[in-house]
Amino acid sequence: MSKLPNEAFRDTIGTIDEEGKRKFIFPKKPSGKFYDYRKWVSYFLLIILVANPFIKVNGNQFMMFNILERRFNIFGFPFWPQDFYIFVLFMIVGVVFVILFTVIFGRIFCGWICPQTIFLELVFRRIEYWIEGDRGAQIRLSKQEWNEDKIKKKGFKWFLFLLISFAIANVFLAYLIGSDALIQMIEDGPETHTSTLIALSIFTGVFYFIFVWFREQVCIIACPYGRLQGVLLDNKSINVAYDFVRGEKEEGRAKFNKQEDRASTGKGDCIDCKQCVNVCPTGIDIRNGTQLECVNCTACIDECDVIMESVGLPKGLIRYASEDEIEKKEPFKFTARMKGYSAILLILVGILTGLLFLRTEVEAVILRLPGQLFEHKGDNISNIYTYKVINKTNNDFKDIHFELVGIKGTLKLVGNQHLKVVKQGMSSGTMFIEINQNLLESDKTKLKIEVYDGNKKIETSTTSFLSPRSFD
């Protein structure tokens, strides 16, 4: 990009003053085509976000991230700790998708999809505009003494913010521990679930702090995705951008003068009204070029379009465009970098789909007890094993038993010979296998064990059987 005369903006961020103190931003209330679209997208996404933990697919919560029990449901697929590799791959696919998306469309995710932006800009700030009024009224209110009017407005706003933070904390908890568990806890009452109540209070406090005070600092300082923009974006990425060629022309930006024929003066189309700055929720001036703080919220596009219309100039001085499109008039191209990321994404999605289809609903793990060799029992050799049967289905297994196949021998569980494994549950224990030593052909025989629920075979597992080295 051509170098703009004043680069001082690079030394500071819009939300910190010269003394290093927090500077609160009072953005003008956005309005316009993109803001309306964003409102509809936000309603849709908020419904999905709130409904997700309460939707069930085949009895499984649609989305669940139970970190404590290491159980995750994604799109209704339950992932156990044993499926962790699939979950990790799922996350990698997500990251590559976001990278590809960012390389092509810049920070479109931040402006349109990110829950932080949606809650801050399209929930909390809208309440703020409703109670405190637009930018000017908010600035006046913040400067005025604590009189009755200010106490009422601020108190009401903070009360509503607290209620919404509490509601968000509940939804967050439903993702973490599961909606069934959350509903059960609500029915039982808070006194029987003190630890959950403490967690809920902490989450509420965190959300309240973020939306009342920390706000856009999340995007500017804390968000790792925001920090990655510098490496992901290039001149071909589409971003909310100021058309500096048109806006500055030969003579630079200048105030609008009704009396002059602007086209003949060489002045740029930007009339320096600063409305794009006033409306920006991160307090930046988009005319300085692509900046880390810009969350691509499109508010400046809408605002500038209104100004351009009012002075009879074409809209789109600020618009979605790549730097090459603005500077070299190059149309969008699917670059080699984009092709590379797309290819990686396709391969990963292919592997993930394959793994999802190959993933078994029942898992039986039979392992020799560590440190134990074998035992002679007359003509028989005995090995001891631990077993684990995981039921990932939504049906209880009421009559699980094991059968040795391909070789004659006995298999005995310690305790009950027939197991029960409840849905989404696990059963584990110890078993002995005894085989006549004349039947063994090596000191380490591979065994195949079938697992049945009643008469139905549900899984086949393998393990090894040790015996003396008398076969050499």
Residues that bind ligand SF4 (CB under 6 A): 240, 242, 247, 270-276, 279-282, 284, 286-287, 294-300, 303-304, 307, 317-318
Nearer to ligand SF4, 270 or 449 (CB): 270
CA-only gyration radius of the chain, Å = 32
Residue 153 CB, nearest approach to ligand SF4 (Å): 25
Residue 102 CB, nearest approach to ligand SF4 (Å): 15
**How many residues are recorded in the chain?**
472
CB of 169 closer than 8 Å to CB of 198: no
Nearer to ligand SF4, 74 or 304 (CB): 304
β-partners of residue 436 are 380
Q: Rounded distance, CA 275 to CA 164, Å? A: 30
Strands 444-453 and 397-405: antiparallel
Residue 302 CB, nearest approach to ligand SF4 (Å): 9
Residue 83 CB, nearest approach to ligand SF4 (Å): 39
Q: Rounded distance, CA 338 to CA 125, Å? A: 36
Query: 3-class SS at 51?
Result: helix
Nearer to ligand SF4, 299 or 421 (CB): 299
Nearer to ligand SF4, 302 or 459 (CB): 302
Nearer to ligand SF4, 286 or 431 (CB): 286
Nearer to ligand SF4, 9 or 432 (CB): 9
Strands 63-66 and 419-421: unpaired
Q: Rounded distance, CA 95 to CA 103, Å? A: 12
Residue 109 CB, nearest approach to ligand SF4 (Å): 13
What is the torsional sign of CA 246, 248, 254, 257?
negative
Nearer to ligand SF4, 193 or 274 (CB): 274
CB neighbour list of residue 125: distance below 8 Å, 6 or more residues apart: 27, 281
In 261-325, DSSP assigns E strands to 318-321
Residue 268 CB, nearest approach to ligand SF4 (Å): 8
Q: Rounded distance, CA 279 to CA 33, Å? A: 15
Query: 3-class SS at 333?
Result: coil
Residue 273 CB, nearest approach to ligand SF4 (Å): 4
